[in-house]
Structure 1
Amino acid sequence: MRPLSSLEQLESKDNEGTESLAINNTRTNRLLTRLALATLGRFHKSDGVCTPISKNKIIKTDTRVHLTEAATMRFVAENTTIPVPKVHCAFVHKGRAFIVMERIQGQELAVAFKKLPKTDHHKVYAQLRSMLDELRALKPSEATGVESCVGGSVFEHRLPRCPPRFGPFATIQAFHLWLRDDFQPSDEVEQHTRTDSDWRDIEKMAAMQDGLWPPPVFTHGDLNPFNILVRGDKVVAIIDWELAGWYPNYWEYTSTWLGSYLRWPDWQDALHLFLDPFPEELEMDRTRYIWWGL
């Protein structure tokens, strides 16, 4: 195995102390998983960090993979009816997380939609609406801030200057302040002379971010047509939960909208069919995106 780069070494350290998140972490499972990856994995096409080892099982492993994702899938499976891959086992070996999970037999929505009639598109959107309503109906504890399902750090690969994992944050306001690098418009010496529209947008964004917010809602964080699997017009799984956690109520909508801006413009146009829109929050988040990045 090749030596880890400095970034990979940093990412692998994120799995230190996560033993409590392991699932079915037996010596036999650890040995069989690594053996299967080294043998059976060679006969299947790897998809990035995921390698199928049979028709029904897949292994997800990389320095970026974290056991929180396995805990999240179990959390969603135990508290909702949303179809997610079953986790067979999850553990850390030499700083690298391994998640052995069910390999769902289905087609990525991005591919399926090219052949499905428009009437079936709306059937899929209706199912997604029901699933996401159920996800958002989960109740956080009174002390929950912006954090993972187990109260720990979260991950967002699309944020610039972002460490491999960040948080948790005790409050939504603290999360917002972190997103804008602790910037406060009132601290700017020359702010009283700024009258341009960009500055007004920043002031409006900061005031809104620092205001009162309802409790966080559980959020997938990366809803895109490649993370939704279907068979025909039936949604059979939502996958890739590595970005999930408790976030502000608008985060699912705005992160999906901004994330699909260039890659899936048609998806962007359909968001209102399965997610409640947050137009004011979208403008707020657009300002953040322009000046601080997604």
Structure 2
Amino acid sequence: MSHPCPEAPKPNWLQKHLLLTTISLLRRFCDHKGSVLMLTKNICVKYGSLHDPMEAQTMMFIAQRTNIPVPKVYMSFKHKGLTYLVMQRIQGHALGRGWQQRTPESRAKLLASLKAHVAEMQELRAVSPAICSVNGGSLYDPRMPKATIRYGPFDDVHDFHDYLRDGIQDHDNHTPDVRKLIRLHNEKWEGPTFTHGDLSSINILARGDEIVGIVDWETAGWYPSYWEYTTACQVNPRNYFWRDEIDKFIHPDPKALEMERLRQRYFGDF
């Protein structure tokens, strides 16, 4: 069972034809940000073979139930193995841009706003103990060290932990670290909590001292309560400065972080 989930608008034949033609003509000339093509000042399209079609529904869910700024979804569809998401282009810059040049007051204001957005997301109540996507289905994360980028859904946190360590159960032959991981996994963990799953400074847009958008919701879903913190801590090298800010907008959970580092050491890193 899952929350009622809004369906993303689908284009009619003419809209799809016009959009695909426009992308074909403009992709060599328009600005790109990764896999996102900036069609106009106010519209962009995210497309590719690895993109999750659930991202559109997730953003619509968040827009309906919170005040978190997310791009408005105009349409979403699949065509010849590619997923297309046409959405609002939010006018703002990645929060990490010029972060070191901001005043302490500016940083504090932005982090306080971000903390409020995270708290609002965490106040969403799950209707079941399942670890799953916004519509109760499988989850998506191309960073996971598995053979497939889709996984789940799981009945509860315990089943999710079992999956993360490949079903390994406690045994005298295991190393002390692996046994410690299993003990930690088997403790009672709060969940599920709605989670963005990639709160990098790259995915947070600001204009002045205001957060105007949070983007890239493809890894979002109902996860254990610690997942937002531990995934945010997995910063990439060009975003490394962000590690010093995470505890200021997500409640720190050192035990969960230790558990995740053990899991990544023995069962695969992001």
TM-score range, shorter chain: over 0.9
In structure 2, what residue type is equivalent to 1:174? D
What displacement does 1:95 show?
Answer: 2.3
Aligned length: 264
What displacement does 1:291 show?
Answer: 0.9
In 1: Cα distance, 2:9 partner to 2:140 partner? 20
Q: Deviations over 1:45-81 (max 9, x none)?
A: 2222111111111111100012100010101100100
Instruction: From the CA coordinates, give the structure whose radius of gyration is larger.
Output: 1
SS at 2:84's partner residue? strand
In 1: Cα distance, 2:162 partner to 2:253 partner? 20
1:1-294 superposed matches below 5 A: 21-141=7-127, 143-186=128-171, 190-191=173-174, 199-257=175-233, 259-260=234-235, 262-294=237-269
Q: TM-score, normalised by structure 1?
A: 0.85
Sequence identity (%): 37
Contact kept? 2:205, 2:213, Cα under 8 Å: yes
Give the stretch that moved more between structures: 78-87 or 266-275.
266-275
In 2: Cα distance, 1:212 partner to 1:114 partner? 39
Contact kept? 2:52, 2:140, Cα under 8 Å: no
User: Which structure has more helix as a fraction of its residues?
Assistant: 1
Large movers: runs of 4+ above 4 Å: none
SS at 2:182's partner residue? helix
What displacement does 1:144 show?
Answer: 4.0
In structure 2, what residue type is equivalent to 1:276? H
SS at 1:42's partner residue? coil
In structure 1, what residue type is equivalent to 2:92? G
In 1: Cα distance, 2:78 partner to 2:146 partner? 26
Q: TM-score, normalised by structure 2?
A: 0.92
In 2: Cα distance, 1:170 partner to 1:231 partner? 41
In 2: Cα distance, 1:162 partner to 1:276 partner? 32
Contact kept? 1:21, 1:68, Cα under 8 Å: no
Runs of at least 5 residues in structure 2 that lack an aligned partner in the other structure? 1-5
Equivalence for 2:3: none
In 2: Cα distance, 1:120 partner to 1:108 partner? 15
In 2: Cα distance, 1:30 partner to 1:114 partner? 43
